[in-house]
Structure 1
Amino acid sequence: MYAILDIETTGGQFNEEGITEIAIYKFDGHEIVDQFISLINPEIPIQPFVVKLTGINNEMLRGAPKFFEVAKRIIEMTNDCVLVAHNASFDYRILRTEFRRLGYDFNIKTLCTVELSQRLMPEQPSHSLGKLVRALGIPMADRHRASGDAMATVKLFKMLLDKDLEKTITKELIKFEVIKGVSPKLLDIIESLPSKTGIYYIHREDGNIIFIGQSKNIKKRVNQHFTGITTSSKKIQAEVFTVTFEETGSELIALLKESEEIKKNSPIYNRMARKNTLSWAIYADKDPNGYLNLKLQKADGRKKEITAFANQQEGKSALSRITSSYQLCPKLTGLSTSKTPCAQHENNQCDGACIGQITSEEYNSKVQVFIDKNLFDNKNMIIIDKGRKTGEHSAILIEKGICRGYAFYDLNYQIINPEILKNILVPIPNNRNTRGYIQAYLRKNRVLKIINF
């Protein structure tokens, strides 16, 4: 017997979504033998994009039953069944979370029609529900409503069962406990954490820190530790007593603090110290003809690096973008080893430095633009980004190429003067790691504002 399910939710942070609508069709492999369809009052607001997608709004749910009022019916509908859904891990996680809030451990076998269709219909270009039913000619009503999506899943599932003549693939894909259970102690810890950006510390009972991490969503990341199956995750689950945290709002501040805190505390389950992660860097050297060559090399503390990278591949990708953006010669940036003029010269994307068609002074001026933009030496700026709460921003002060520290300030007091900012700074050790992380972050992410002074 199968319980074919679809759930609509409020949207929002991981493990904090609420159910707004549920539809379950009990299916015996040939026909529907029972059904349950209901709106549900999640007791939290629906995200605007979900209202637009589903048409379900907060007003519609005011008089709807709350989850605890329909929980018994859901158990009756799914008892001794395999739960079938399109992207079953999502629906199963949502159900487990709701039952967990009631103190009930909901466990059931699951079967995902995404995985089943991928195995039985590999020729289909897309395995999303909407595109699959259109491609297969399955009629569908009320898209993005629980009853419409669940009914479409019933029809799709019946078609898939018919294709799986021996039912071997269907049986092979049935899973039990897609999401691992979490002990009550760990659940209590998870519930105490915010879904915010910051740094977290996992402690043993004696107070010692065994792991330090940072995340855009502290609750989600710690939940991953507590449900992980790696050796380190299992050790953390066995030894954790409590988790403390510090919200930063800014991902960059979280990254910088994590690096320094790992160095300071040396937690036993952090895989490696951050000091070893920026192992490649770009350097500039003049060749015998006086042209500035950019070189990607293993990091060397004795030389002045322009910018650093976590690995060689990341560095090569960045160097390729730099070569294109600044119209540099691939032979002089190490991307081409050809003895003939580079291909970019033939395509008019290189102005001929590789064969002396422009002077070293002309070429070096373009390289210098890149160096000046990226080298931290003598750079003065304030990096403005998100704060820990509404009405607050964060600021990181770089003065003469040295990272002085970070601060949080109220938006009612705009801080653009570095001398005022210095009065409220929390110091950050200025070292190669700090500079490297700031450069890498600014390469890949947008911040609210950068004030140069």
Structure 2
Amino acid sequence: MYAILDIETTGGKYNEEGITEIAIYKFDGHKVVDQFASLVNPERRIQPFVVNLTGINNEMLRSAPKFYEVAKRIIEITEGCVLVAHNAQFDNRILTTEFDRLGYQFKKDTLCTVELSKKLIPDMPSYSLGKLVRSLGIPISDRHRAQGDAQATLTLFKLLMSKDINKDILTASVRQDPRRQLEPKLIDIIDSTPTETGVYYMHREDGEIIYIGKSKNMRRRLVQHFTSDKRKSKKIQLEVHTVTYELTGNDLIAQLKESEEIKQKKPLYNRALRRTLFTYQLSSFTDQNGYINLKIDKADGRKPAITTFSNYQQARSAVFKITEQHQLCQRLTGLDKGKGPCFHHSVKTCNGACIEEEEISAYNARVEGFIQRHSYDNKHMMLIDRGRDTDERSVILIEDGQYKGYGFYNLNFQIDNPEILRSIVNPMSNNRDAQHIIQSYLRKNKVMRIVPLPKTSAI
């Protein structure tokens, strides 16, 4: 059984291309028994020369399914098949890379109609698909579109099969694709790493850790490391000997653990994350009229912060959401620099704090509600979330507004007892980066439960 396919891509850097269109014909050696064709949203821009070549543009793909939405159908139609394509190494590399990004191993034997044509139909003036099929009298429509090229490849493949009387060349040509020319060592490392959330450690042969990373899918992240042509990635590919890992169950603990261990171990290739993770913070002050104002400031450890941000754009975007969610005044959150009523007042979404119409106590109550929710100063609480398996939960302990550490517990345990908390929590450093990670995560994600603790329960 054969899967004759053609793929169109965005173009761009090696192994960073995205699929824009795919067509597959399942061929049993005699007739087509199944087929699939679809545009694909690559979630990245198409190179201009590719638009000119294929006619596929970004607007056409806006509502197309993303790769993960068609992946199951591709797996089904290629099950038990040899992949056949014109320049099969390219199409298989693109397809394998896309599946790698999903954490799925997609391995198929391949046949290349370019190589087969050179062996079975020698001395042709050109072996590009368009020129070759025209020379052979094979019709081709929609050149450089997946369905048209796949149909032409199917007709060419039928011709090649008829010319291979003894089937010797076909048999010899079937091979396992060399997986993007990755070293066997790197392939073995990828295959031995799970697709789960955790922190991974890259070691030299002498055991020294040269890089620490975290991912929701560690195997997929290693594929990205080992197929990237960036300068740092190439150095890592040459030096890495072993990768070890620790499962964390969820991304929040992975981020906290990664940050802590990079600061402790200072790996050679983690220079960027040794620096502070955030540059801006959200502060509050009471103006001369008695209203509580919010203000985006440059990060300053000497000033109390409600929450912190990686950059100014992230801060401004967050303040827009905060203003809308809590019905605050744009003037008092620093988003409107004018005079008189703010814009939101003109569209009836601001109650008039900007022109002193809203009662101070009512407005300040909403601001304080936001501050209470997003700042954990002086709070005692546990953040409960997924563990490393279905019978486990994770816990992050905050005592008196300080991050104390994390741990894991079985669902049968009662962890509101201080002694049990003391035994399961791994002590961690309470620094500004850890607080930033927790606050940012809670802003964007939901944990399973937030459990307030009385001061007597804090450890």
| TM-score after normalising by structure 1 | 0.67
Q: Does 1:261 align with 2:261?
A: yes
Query: Is the CA contact (8 Å cut-off) linking 1:3 and 1:84 kept in structure 2?
Result: no
Mapped pair 1:352 → 2:352: yes
Deviations 1:168-223 (A, max 9, x none): xxxxxxxxx99732100111111111111110111111222111100011111112
Question: Relative to 1, partners in 2 of residues 1:105 and 1:427: Cα closer, same or farther, differing over 3 Å?
Answer: farther
Alpha-carbon spacing, 1:317–1:108, altered in 2? closer, same or farther (3 Å): farther
Q: Distance in 1 between matches of 2:112 and 2:189?
A: 22
Equivalent residue for 1:318? 318
Secondary structure in 1 aligned to 2:253? helix
Residue 409 (structure 1) aligned with residue 414 (structure 2)? no
CA distance in 2, matches of 1:238, 1:358: 64
Classify 1:419/1:375 alpha carbon distance in 2 versus 1 (closer, same or farther; 3 Å): farther
Q: Secondary structure at the residue paired with 1:189?
A: helix
Tell me, yes or no, if the aligned pair for 1:182 and 1:227 is still in contact at 8 Å.
yes
Partner Cα separation in structure 2 for residue 380 and residue 109 of structure 1: 67
In the alignment, the residues of structure 2 paired with residue 202 and residue 56 of structure 1 have an alpha-carbon distance, to the nearest angstrom, of: 32
SS at match of 1:364: helix
Distance in 2 between the 1:369 and 1:92 partners? 47
**CA distance 1:448–1:362, shift in 2 (3 Å):** closer
| Alpha-carbon separation, structure 2, partners of 1:397 and 1:25 | 58
Aligned 1:273-352 pairs, distance under 5 A: 273-352=273-352
Amino acid at match of 1:346: S
Q: Distance in 1 between matches of 2:313 and 2:95?
A: 34
What is the one-letter code of the residue matched to 2:389? Answer: K
What is the CA distance between 1:339 and its match in structure 2?
Answer: 1.0
Distance 1:330 1:413, change over 3 A: same
Deviation of 1:260 after TM superposition, in Å, equals 0.7
Question: What is the aligned partner in structure 2 of residue 385 from structure 1?
Answer: 385
Q: Are 1:430 and 2:435 an aligned pair? A: no
CA–CA separation in structure 2 for the residues paired with 1:180 and 1:308: 41
Counterpart residue type for residue 260 of structure 1: E
1:443 aligns with 443
Distance 1:98 1:293 in 2: 54
**Counterpart amino acid of 1:360?**
I
Q: Distance in 1 between matches of 2:221 and 2:380?
A: 34
- Alpha-carbon separation, structure 2, partners of 1:91 and 1:273: 30
SS of equivalent to 2:368: helix
1:89 is matched with: 94
Alpha-carbon distance in structure 1 between the residues aligned to 2:351 and 2:217: 47
CA drift of 1:309 comes to 0.6
Q: 1:324 to 1:270 in 2, by over 3 A?
A: same
> What CA distance in whole angstroms lies between the structure 1 residues aligned with 2:90 and 2:32?
15
Question: Aligned AA for 1:209?
Answer: I
SS in 2 for 1:272: helix
For 1:163, the equivalent position in structure 2 comes to none
**Unaligned ranges ≥5, structure 2:** 8-23, 35-67, 116-141, 154-176, 454-459
After TM superposition, give the deviation of residue 363 of structure 1 in Å.
2.3
- Seen in structure 2, the aligned counterparts of structure 1 residues 157 and 84 have a Cα distance that, compared at 3 Å, is farther
Q: Secondary structure at the match of 1:246?
A: strand
Cα distance in 1, alignment partners of residues 388 and 398 from structure 2? 21
Residues in 1 aligned to 2:272 and 2:402: alpha-carbon distance in whole angstroms: 25
Superimposed CA distance per residue, residues 303-333 of structure 1 (whole angstroms, 9 cap, x where no aligned partner) = 1000001111111011011111111110111
Q: Is the 8 A contact 2:5 2:150 kept in 1?
A: no
Q: Which residue of 1 aligns with 2:194?
A: 194
Q: Is the 8 A contact 2:6 2:149 kept in 1?
A: no
- The 1:278/1:55 distance shift into structure 2, 3 A limit, reads closer
Query: 1:382 Cα deviation (Å)?
Result: 1.0
| Structure 1 residue 363 corresponds to structure 2 residue 366 | no
Contact 1:93 1:179 in 2 (8 A): no
**What whole-Å deviation, never above 9, does each CA across 1:272-292 have from its counterpart, x for those lacking one?**
125422111100012222221
TM-score of the aligned structures, taking structure 2 as reference length: 0.67
Q: Give the AA of the match of 2:221.
A: R
Q: Which residues of 2 match residues 155-194 of structure 1 at below 5 A?
A: 180-194=180-194
Note the alpha carbon deviations across 1:4-58, whole angstroms, 9 max, x for none: 3289xxxxxxxxxxxxxx85459xxxxxx966769xxxxxxxxxx999x76999x
Shift of 1:359: 3.7
For residues 251 and 98 of structure 2, the distance between their equivalents in structure 1, rounded to whole angstroms, comes to 27
* Superimposed CA distance per residue, residues 380-433 of structure 1 (whole angstroms, 9 cap, x where no aligned partner): 211111111221111111122111211111112242334422221101111211
Check whether the contact 1:382–1:452 (CA below 8 A) recurs between aligned residues.
Answer: yes
Structure 2 CA distance for aligned equivalents of residues 344 and 178 of structure 1: 59
Partner of 1:246: 246
CA distance, structure 2, for counterparts of residue 254 and residue 92 of structure 1? 25
**What is the match of residue 43 of structure 1?**
none
Q: CA deviation at 1:343?
A: 1.3
1:136-194, Cα deviation, whole Å (9 max, x unpaired): xx9xxxxxxxxxxxxx964575699xxxxxxxxxxxxxxxx997321001111111111
The 8 Å contact of residues 259 and 273 in structure 1, kept in 2 or not, is answered as yes
Please identify, of 253-262 and 205-214, the stretch whose mean Cα deviation from structure 2 is larger. 205-214
* Corresponding position of 1:394: 394
Give the number of aligned pairs: 350
Structure 1 residue 251: deviation in Å? 1.0
* Structure 1 residues 106 and 229: alpha-carbon distance in aligned structure 2, compared to 1, 3 A threshold: farther
Structure 2 SS opposite 1:350: coil
Q: Distance in 1 between matches of 2:325 and 2:247?
A: 37
What amino acid is aligned across from residue 268 of structure 2 in structure 1?
I
1:228 Cα deviation from its structure 2 partner: 0.8
SS at match of 2:180: coil
* Amino acid corresponding to residue 407 of structure 1 in structure 2: G
Secondary structure of residue in 1 paired with 2:446? coil
Partner secondary structure for residue 320 of structure 1: helix
CA distance in 2, matches of 1:372, 1:195: 37
The letter for the 2-side match of 1:236 is: I
Amino acid paired to 2:224? Q
CA-based RMSD of the aligned residues comes to: 4.1
SS at match of 1:205: coil
| Partner Cα separation in structure 1 for residue 343 and residue 114 of structure 2 | 58
CA distance in 2, matches of 1:247, 1:418: 25
Deviates more, 1:281-290 or 1:354-363: 354-363
Do the aligned residues in 2 keep the contact of 1:201 with 1:211 (CA within 8 Å)? yes
